[in-house]
Amino acid sequence: MKPVRGRLLALGIIVVLSGAFFLPSTPYFAMMPAWWQEYFPSKGTRLGLDLQGGMHLVLEVQTDKAVEINLDRTADGINGLLEENDILDAEVKRIDQTNVQVVVSGEHLESEIETVISETYATLIRRSSDEEGVLIFGISEQEAKRIKEGAVEQALETIRNRVDEFGVAEPLIQTQGLKEIVVQLPGIKDPKRALRLIKSTAQLEFKLLDEDHVLARELPQLIAAGQEDSTLQEFADRIPEEDEILFERQVNLDSGVVSKVPYLIKKQAMLTGDLLTDARVQVGEFNEPYVSISFDRTGGKIFDTVTAANVQKRMAIILDDTVYSAPVIQERISGGRAQITGSFTHQEAADLAIALRAGALPAPVAIIQNLTVGPSLGRDSIEKGATSMAIAAFLVVVFMIYYYRISGLIADVALVLNVVGLIGALGGLEATLTLPGIAGIILTIGMGVDSNVLILERIREEIRQEKPVRLAIDAGYNKALLTIVDAHVTTLITGFALFVFGTGPIKGFAVTLCLGIGINLFTALVGTKVVYDIGNNRWRFKRLSV
């Protein structure tokens, strides 16, 4: 009985865990104690856009325009640079998407101008020109590609910030192709407002911390995410009129817990993102990543003045009222270039650079697809999906009992275990259930029946050869094993390919299919065999109803 007890215990554990993981998807989860909600998955199975309604957008980032904007800023910077070097008789303008033209009408040598420009703008390439006194500088294909990729990353970060501000639960925001962004907002109640929010531009600001005020020393060092409003209410009557409290988001790398750091910050912006020309990740001499930022001529002068007057003070870098970094100004920073250093991982530095570019260099975004799924349509999809599942399960159960009698009833128990395990797995993984996902569950029911039919037909063959019931059952399972494994593995490979290369609903179908296949293998080969073994050990079957 030991092997039977072990397998029976494994089945019991799977059923209990499946119920625990599915619990967050039901209204009863709110009744559970706090320790249960802390140690078990708390989100449960989420409904996709097609089931609960919402908005589906496909946005196209106009990357060519991003290159033009970059060159326009470069032309403006070159013009200011030449003025600083007393070259006042030069005219600078962008002549096409990748080239800037400098026309010199005075006595300055072309080599002198080329030297001045190349020292500051290392990414520009001198191109040949047939006209005397005309210099053409352009960017390489690689640099243009970098600008386009940066524009898409920038738009993605901007949209994500805006959606987080809007408060949509479980949004899907990801790139599609080279310059498209897919945005899915399940359960959105005001699509027009969401659309306005997404299309607006992130606001980047540089502000000084008010560390001299007594309130700055009384603010908590760290608060849990979601407690921002209560913190603001607690200190509302003590915040100086010229200050505000903003929060920096921090994530514990070990536990993944999100916390917020409150800062008392002066409302007056010392510098804004429209004066920032670039932000990119660099690596220092000790292999530590940092973010290098560049301002245009006006921004460089302002930054020089601000940093000179506030050495050893902290300046917050704020995007959409969220503090991304609050470094200490170590010394006066001239030349329109600065470094943001800290205990960054490379990914964190890259994220900060994207955030800075998001506020500084917004690329135009066009909406190429806008679909809104109403909540009534979602409810209708759920009802029809549930009805189809119920009908499919009922017909299968009835057929198995009619055709295989008691053995068919045992197979139906395995089928129920299969569905219970699948629903629990979806809840434990906090997966998103879509309409194709429901189709995957129904297909899993069919595959579960197929496995049991193979086993039962093999047992019938052995009984026809007048073998004892115990030997017939063991032989039936052994002979059907390879066929069942082969069918499931080939289907699993297909499901895995759908998950890797598919998008959206295809992934939802692939997830339920792959989970169902794995669970079905266990319930078909282990779950039903346990029932037969228990019956044989207790009653010593002489005949089998099959």
pLDDT of residue 264: 94
pLDDT computed for residue 167 by the predictor: 58
The pLDDT value recorded for residue 1 is 44
Quote the pTM value.
0.53
Instruction: In whole angstroms, give the CA distance from residue 263 to residue 380.
Output: 48
pLDDT, block means (10 residues), the chain with 546 residues: 70 82 76 72 72 81 84 80 77 83 73 80 80 82 87 82 64 84 79 69 78 90 88 90 88 78 89 77 82 82 86 84 83 79 71 66 74 67 77 84 85 84 82 79 81 86 82 85 86 86 76 86 82 75 69
Q: Are strands 90-94 and 99-104 parallel, antiparallel or unpaired?
A: antiparallel
Q: What is the pLDDT of residue 361?
A: 45
**How would DSSP label each residue in 488-524?**
HHHHHHHHHHHHHH--THHHHHHHHHHHHHHHHHHII
Of all helices (H) and strands (E), which one includes residue 332? none
What's the CATH fold of domain 201-368? Gyrase A; domain 2 (3.30.1360)
Indicate the SS3 state at residue 182: strand
From CA 246, how far away is CA 321, in angstroms rounded?
A: 7
- What was the pLDDT predicted at 263? 94
- Tell me whether domains 63-140 and 201-368 share a fold: no
For the domain made up of 63-140, the CATH class stated in words is: alpha beta
Domain locations along the chain: 2-51+375-539, 63-140, 201-368
Gap between the Cα atoms of 193 and 185, Å rounded: 12
CATH level 3 topology of 2-51+375-539: Multidrug efflux transporter AcrB transmembrane fold (1.20.1640)
